[in-house]
Amino acid sequence: MEKNMRPLLLLSNDDGVNAKGINELIRTLRPMADLIVVAPDGPRSGFSGAITSEHPLRCTKVKEEEGLTVYQCNGTPVDCVKLALHTLVPRTPDLVLGGINHGDNSSVNVHYSGTMGVVIEGCLKSIPSIGFSLCNHDTDADFSPLLPYVNRIVEEVLKMGLPEGTCLNVNFPDLPQFAGVRICRQTKGVWTNEFAQATHPNGRNYYWMTGNYVNQEPESEDTDHWAMDHGYIAITPTQIDVTAYKLKKEMETWNFNL
Amino acid sequence: MEKNMRPLLLLSNDDGVNAKGINELIRTLRPMADLIVVAPDGPRSGFSGAITSEHPLRCTKVKEEEGLTVYQCNGTPVDCVKLALHTLVPRTPDLVLGGINHGDNSSVNVHYSGTMGVVIEGCLKSIPSIGFSLCNHDTDADFSPLLPYVNRIVEEVLKMGLPEGTCLNVNFPDLPQFAGVRICRQTKGVWTNEFAQATHPNGRNYYWMTGNYVNQEPESEDTDHWAMDHGYIAITPTQIDVTAYKLKKEMETWNFNL
């Protein structure tokens, strides 16, 4: 970043440009940085790293003020980041931020999260990237207890950087105050009972996705779920290399000859 | 698996139930296993780990023969696996298979791939899971050189199992024969020039996703791209824990106090 230049932050999310979470993120970061927001034009929760190749993408500028430009886009969260970096940003952003998500993205939820899709895309483009999520799905959730920590984490990452190929998944418990910040690993967990069945008036069955999350290691104190269950803000350092190196070594002795 | 019982394999993909790739997978595996296929009703390429929570899901049985049942579903690849395991399978499958994909899912493409979405979902449900992809996007690509290797890899994984939390991402170069099988790691690479701009008759701009893939480490002989570039089948062992453990250790000294 050039001397005397304010940081430029690219913001996106998966709840859509009008969600409270991203607007709270804008509000808290505006004093410290120039912001460009490129977010979906409606809800894209659970869109993971999805990209759109079969339909044309459109972007519309919906706000331009000193230090803040907002676009909405008809694509996925990852499309928003890609399109922003390809064509909308005035220079490479200093950070890519996802959120603040309405709902928890810890544990295995990282694999479904559109918020983390944003963050992983920023990371794939070699930009330090952070996802923020609050463990509360309400459209009018209270984000105010988080905001000082969001600013602090952004400041610290602007100062320290992040190693190539890594990003941060930050999850806040839904509390008025926090016991502190813990650096965590991804909890082992599983979703069960994932569908509710219903019957259409025409007689055909259909299904709504729902489910119960089961923490498979509730006693492990180094996990993101343990941290949140005990009142801490959970920061889970995350990487884009998903190679299973231990299995790679084991499999070198396997035989795949025909 | 019970003695004398044929293995049960759950198949899905992201190119849709009518794509040649999944039908070739069915054809080659049918002699060795009972198959249940639950696949999207049309193309879902690039859907990553996306799930559908805002719309109802529907599934229709489109084929039932001895040892083969096929459903199509209006959801994402991951929805198909979830719905199959929740409600459609007669018992827990011995393997979950994604593909055969029309197009390469090596390197960073693992993050966008609906085929690997299928595989990661199977893995999250503690079922050994394998994704198969051919580096050819043609709807009528020739899968025949791959098929003996697909069978061999499936046999071997049925015999050996896979450690909890791991799965396989198998990519085939588009060749009539192969130099052999290599166990690889995910290549570092990046997509550039990701959009082509066009103008609607009404004057507004829109964008099509496209792009050029750049291998950032073409000389690294342990990568999946190197393997394919040199005529090998690339097997990349993949894990669902995306924690960046080295960064986790480093960040324990960072200060996030307000």
Q: What angle do CA B124, A111, B166 make, to 5 degrees?
A: 40
Residue A43 has pLDDT above 80, yes or no: yes
Q: Write the residue in B52, B242, B256 that is nearest to A242 by C-beta.
A: B242
Please tell me the number of Cα atoms within 13 Å of A125 on its side-chain side: 23
* Residues 6+ positions from B152 with CB-CB distance below 8 Å: A256, A257, A258
Distance from chain centroid for Cα B235: 12
- Prediction ipTM score: 0.96
Nearest to B45 by CA among A114, A116, A47, A52: A52
Q: List the single best residue of B158, B202, B207, B232 to mutate versus A (max A Cβ within 10 A).
A: B207
As a whole number of angstroms, the distance between CA A122 and CA A142 comes to 27
How many CB atoms neighbour CB B12 within 10 A?
33
CB contact under 8 A, B186 and A243: yes
The chain-wide mean pLDDT, for chain A, equals 96
Q: How does pLDDT run across A47-78, given as a tens digit for each residue?
A: 999 999 989 999 999 999 999 999 999 999 99
- Judging contacts by C-beta atoms under 8 Å, the chain B residues touching residue A78 are 48, 112
Question: Is A78 an 8 Å CB contact of chain B?
Answer: yes
* pTM over cut 0.95: yes
CB contact under 8 A, B124 and A111: yes
- pLDDT attached to residue A4: 61
Q: What are the beta bridge partners of residue A59?
A: A73
User: A242 to chain B nearest CA, in Å?
Assistant: 5
Q: How does pLDDT run across A130-150, given as a tens digit for each residue?
A: 999 999 999 999 999 999 999
As a whole number of angstroms, the distance between CA A242 and CA B11 comes to 22
Q: What is the mean pLDDT of residues A136-165?
A: 98
Residue B5 has pLDDT above 80, yes or no: yes
- Judging contacts by C-beta atoms under 8 Å, the chain B residues touching residue A244 are 163, 165-166, 237-239
Q: Write the residue in B185, B195, B248 that is nearest to A86 by C-beta.
A: B195
The Cα-based distances of A161 to A81, B110, B258 in angstroms read 19, 25, 19
Q: What is the per-residue burial (b if ≥16 Cβ within 10 Å, else e) of A38-50?
A: bbbbebbbbbbbb
Instruction: Say if CB B164 and CB B45 are below 8 A apart.
Output: no
CB contact under 8 A, B149 and A244: no
pLDDT above 70: percentage of residues in chain B: 98
Question: Is B185 an 8 Å CB contact of chain A?
Answer: yes
Closest-CA residue in chain B for A248?
Answer: B237
Q: Which helix (H) or strand (E) holds B99?
A: strand B95-102
Question: Is A202 an 8 Å CB contact of chain B?
Answer: no
Nearest to A197 by CA among B80, B57, B62, B78: B57
Structure tokens belonging to residue A71: 């676009």
Closest-CA residue in chain A for B235?
Answer: A248
Question: Is A196 an 8 Å CB contact of chain B?
Answer: no
Residue B2 has pLDDT above 90, yes or no: no
Q: What angle do CA A195, A117, B98 make, to 5 degrees?
A: 60
CB contact under 8 A, A108 and B240: yes
Q: How does pLDDT run across B39-84, given as a tens digit for each residue?
A: 999 999 999 999 999 899 999 999 999 999 999 999 999 999 999 9
Q: How does pLDDT run across A237-247, given as a tens digit for each residue?
A: 999 999 999 99
More confident residue, A3 or B115: B115
- pLDDT attached to residue A5: 84
The chain-wide mean pLDDT, for chain B, equals 96
Question: Is B205 an 8 Å CB contact of chain A?
Answer: yes
Closest-CA residue in chain A for B53?
Answer: A209
